Amino acid sequence: MHTYIHTYIHSYILTYILTYLLTCVRTLFWCCLCLIDVGAFVKEHECHEGFDEEYQTYILDEDKLCDLLEPICEEGGVIIDFHSCEIFPERWFELVSF
């Protein structure tokens, strides 16, 4: 019985330490990188050619979007959240995740 309690306490402490370390790593990760949600960026910077009523979505102006994102992406440290990578130049990215 004593061994069970001792193991439980060590397990609890280890879980607490790992949770704390993961929080620190996440904070460091997000402090060093900039996340761009392309959908929100398109709305905010009006990178669209209007609204498609049938599909209930904006019609993306790819040229304007890329022109506005280029100086941001050239600095590095950017995560682009979008459903496609085909419209962006390859030189902007080191990793593409699906």
Helices (H), 33-77: 38-44, 62-74
pLDDT digits (tens, 9 = 90+) for 15-71: 767 676 666 566 555 566 788 899 999 999 999 999 999 999 999 999 999 999 999
Beta carbons within 8 Å of 46's beta carbon, 6+ residues apart = 64
Q: 7: how many CB neighbours lie within 10 A of its CB?
A: 10
Structural domain boundaries of the chain? 1-32, 33-98
What pLDDT is stored for residue 63 in this prediction?
96
Question: Judging by DSSP bridges, how do beta strands 57-60 and 48-52 pair with one another?
Answer: antiparallel
Query: Is 89 in contact with 46 (CB distance < 8 Å)?
Result: no
33-98 CATH: 3.40.50.300
